[in-house]
Structure formats: C-alpha cells, structure tokens
Structure 1
Amino acid sequence: MADGQQREGQVGGEQHGQDADDRRLVRRALHPGPAGLNDEVIQAAPLVHVGNFKERDPPIFRGLPHEDVMEWSYQFQRVSAFNQWGPDQQLRHIEFSLEGVAARWFSGLRPRPETIAGLMGALQAAFRHHNYALELESQLRARKMGVDEPVMSYCYDIIYLCSKLL
C-alpha cells in the first residue's frame, strides 16, 4: 500500500511538472520576447532538398459559401513554399487549384493580374465574406475549452484565431 501511495505521489508530481511546463510554453507563445538567460536559442537549419521528394498538391478552392478563401490562400502559400515554386509557377498552378464557381470566376477574369499578389488580392476580394472580421471575432468569442481538451490545444487554437484577426 505504501508503494501505491508513493507511485501516486510520483505521478502527481510528474503531472504538476507537466502543468508547469505547459504554463511556461503558453507564456512564451503569448509573450514572445528576447531570449532570457535560461532560454535556448534555436536556429533552424537551412532548407535543402536532397534527392527526390514528392511535391504536395495545392488545396482546391471551389468558392462555396462555407469555404474560407483566406485560409485557402494561406495553405496555397505553404504548399508553394514546400514545392519551391516561384511567383511564375504559382500563377500557373493556381488555375488548377480552382474548381466550380471559383474556376468560372477565374476564366472570366479580365484583365488577369500578372502577379501572384495581384491575383490573390482579386481572389480574396471576390470570395472573402463581407463581414469576415465579425465572423472571426464571433468564432473567437464562442470558442470554449472542451472538457477533455488539452490546455495547449486550446491555447494554440485561441492564438491562431487571434492571429487571423490581425
């Protein structure tokens, strides 16, 4: 019985340590600042692709009312960076990432923007909801932490929603 109590104390201590680590990570995420004395400086290695790697397919945007053109734009940029597409390649690929209403909009777009930034701006102007900021704010206000949801998952979801508002 003493062994069981000792193990429970160890598990409880580990849980307390995990909670402290979680709080520290949340503080760093919410308040990034200069590295402190005890903070490690992490440097990312340069991105080098060796050998063959499979390109990712860009996401499909259909222009449906429930789709978020801003989120789609962000995901398209992520895939473009991974595939190492330059601006000209992005312009060529974007046409094949559009289907349905969005593809029909694109086919009728005259004059066509000559830059990826111009095309993304036109796409966002055409398909972003007119009350997009209010919808994001509503999502943020309605977001509640689930009973079994990890604290870090909830915190990063809140941070993500806040970043979309800026």
Structure 2
Amino acid sequence: MTSPQSRPSIAPPVFKGTPEESAAEWLTCYEHVASLNCWDSDTKVKFLYLALDGDAKKWYTTQLLTGAPSSWSDWAAKLKACFSSRHAAEIAYLRLQNRVQLPTESPEQYFYDVMQLCARVDPKMPEEDRLRHLLRGLQPATMEKMIISNPTTCADFLQILQRLSQATLMGLASWLLPTPVSNTYLPTGAWNSNIHATPNSATTEPVPAPGQPHLLPACTAASYRQQQRLEGEQDFKAIAASLESLSGRLKAIEEEIFRNRVPWPPRTTRADDGRPRCHYCSRNGHISRQCRQRWRDEDREQRNVRDEQAPNLGNGNGRA
C-alpha cells in the first residue's frame, strides 16, 4: 500500500454542513479524491479536517474533545448521521417544485441542478417525471419551443435546450442594436475650416436620427452581450449581499431589543393610584385580611354552621 502523503495532490471538496449540502454526496466525492490520491484509512482521517468548514469543522473539533472515532468508517458514519436530515427528501422536493430557470444561468447549470434535485428526491425517478420537472421550470418562450420539439429523454432535453440558447445568442448577435452613430462621415480638415453656417442657411449639418439602428459585427455583439450578462450578475450579487447584510443587522437589533427589555409585572396587588387592592372583594384601599366583606361572610358561615348543629345537640346522645 502506498505510504501516506505529506499533502494532497488533489484537494478534497469542502463540506460546510449547510442544509443545502448532502453529506452522502460529499462523502462519495471525498472517497473518489482519496482513491485518486492513493490514501489509506488513516490518511483519510488526517485530511478530513482540511475538507471541513463552518458547522462541520465545529462538529469535528467537538468530536476530538468528547472522544473521536478510531477508524475512517466510524468517522464517515458519524458525519453522515449528524448532517443527514430525515426530511432531506422532502426539502429537496420543495426546492425542486420551486426551481425555475434564471435569466443569468446557462442551460447546463439549470439542467444539472434539476437533475441533482431529482436524484435527491428519488434516485430511481422515472424519465418522464424528470422531464416534467425540467420542463416546468423553463421560461415561457423556451417552454413553448421545447414542447414543440417534444424531447423523450433528458439527454435530448439538454441538447435541445443548448441549441435554443445558442440560437438566441446568434439572433442577438445579428440583431440591430440601437447605438449612437459617430459623425466620422462629416467633412473634416483644414479645407472646410472657413465654412461658416448662418442661421438662415438652407444647408445644415447632417445629424443622425436619435436611436438610429447600427449593425454590429457578430463577434462584437457577442462580447457586448457577455459583458452585459456579467455586469447584471455582479449587480445581482451586490444587491443580494446588501440585503443579507441588512437582514443580519436587523436581526441583531431585534435580538438586542428583546434581550434588554425588562418586562413589567402586572399590577394586580395595587391600583393605578398606588392603593392596595383586596383579593377578596377586588376593592381598593385595603387588603384581604382587613376586608369587612370577608369578615361578614365568614361570620355568616359560622352562624349557619352553628344553626345546623344546634338541633342535633338534644339530650346529649344525638337525639332530639
């Protein structure tokens, strides 16, 4: 067996333990990288720390403090048991139901993401169900063309989607883009420097109409569209980062407010003006042991008890 290497020649994938990640899929990738690097079980355990981040790394350090497993199989089983939810299939199904093709993503990104979600929901999902999920998330224009093409397999679906995307890019490349036209065709030079236009002159300088279409070469249009797409992605990422930052700040402010809030006890023992409130008659100005209503009621109850016991006294033997 090959001796353990001092450092990996192929870096293992990083696992953070987020709900979007699958521990089983990550372990499969890690095993594949370990096979390419000719790692044995001990080497897999050594490089496991480098492949973890976030909550997964905290879990690893906790295992070291509380009693680490002795073999790689035990490590893999514990990691899978800790980061594999019983509702993983239901969560993947909900994500699959809400998955739609984004304007900024390529056909391959959408296709393989949906296929991965289908595999998480049901590894043996029929081809018809996968095609139905792929078709449902398409944009309306693309969906119409895809229905006309009528793919029968997922591979046919990907090929048709790629052709439609390429056709769209080619159409945009040859499209008339409204760009301003430079006045390079106007006469320039020293010979026209003495020409002065008068306000009443019949001839005026030709000015191109606003929004006049200008035909760009295919290569230039393609790069222009690519630049627009990249700028849109950058703007979207910046907006998402700003929203996430604002959400974090708002959450911190709410936690600070609720943490420092001291709840006031309900005013049940005293009235609003500070006088004591009786628990017996609910009147203000005295307490329960000083309540005259309570004294009267207790005295009435005692008299009733004496009146009930009086007829039974009789001659001392309980007879009248």
- TM-score in terms of structure 2 length: 0.30
Measured at CA, do residues 81 and 162 of structure 1 come closer, stay the same or move farther in structure 2, by a change above 3 Å? Answer: farther
Q: CA distance change for structure 1 residues 57 and 149 in 2, over 3 Å: closer, same or farther?
A: closer
Paired position in structure 2 for 1:138: 94
Offset, 1:113: 4.5
2:62 counterpart letter in structure 1: W
Q: What pairs with 1:71-150 in structure 2 (closer than 5 Å)?
A: 71-98=25-52, 100-108=57-65, 110=67, 112-114=69-71, 116-147=72-103, 149-150=105-106
Long gaps (5+) in structure 1: 1-53
Question: What is the deviation of 1:164?
Answer: 2.6
Distance (whole Å) between structure 2 residues aligned to residue 78 and residue 95 of structure 1 = 17
4+ aligned runs moved over 3 Å, structure 1: 59-72, 95-100, 108-111, 147-153
- 2:11 aligned to which of 44, 47, 57: 57
Shift of 1:131: 2.1
Alignment-mate amino acid for residue 104 of structure 1: T
> Counterpart of 1:121 in 2: which secondary structure?
helix
- Deviation sequence 1:37-58 (CA, Å, 0-9, x none): xxxxxxxxxxxxxxxxx71222
Deviation at 1:138, TM superposition (A): 1.4
Whole-angstrom distance in 1 between the partners of 2:18 and 2:97:
25
Bigger radius of gyration: 2
Q: Cα RMSD (Å) of the superposition?
A: 3.0
For 1:13, the equivalent position in structure 2 comes to none
Could you tell me how far 1:82 is from its partner in structure 2? 2.8
User: For each residue in 1:132-156, what CA deviation from the matched residue of structure 2 results, as whole angstroms up to 9, or x when unmatched?
Assistant: 2211111211111234644444222
Q: How many residues align?
A: 112
Higher RCO by CA contacts (8 Å cutoff, separation 6 or greater): 1
Letter in 1 for 2:45: L
**Does the 8 Å contact 1:63/1:101 carry over to 2?**
no
Inter-partner Cα distance in structure 2 for 1:135 and 1:152: 23
Write out aligned runs for 1:35-46 (5 A): none
In 1, distance between residues paired with 2:20 and 2:113? 20
Rate the CA distance shift 1:155–1:60 in 2: closer, same or farther, 3 A. closer
Could you tell me whether the CA contact under 8 Å between 1:61 and 1:102 is conserved in 2? Answer: no
| Identical amino acids, percent of aligned pairs | 22
**Preserved CA contact (<8 Å) 1:58 1:79:** yes
Distance 1:143 1:66 in 2: 14
Structure 2's unaligned 5+ residue stretches are 1-7, 124-320
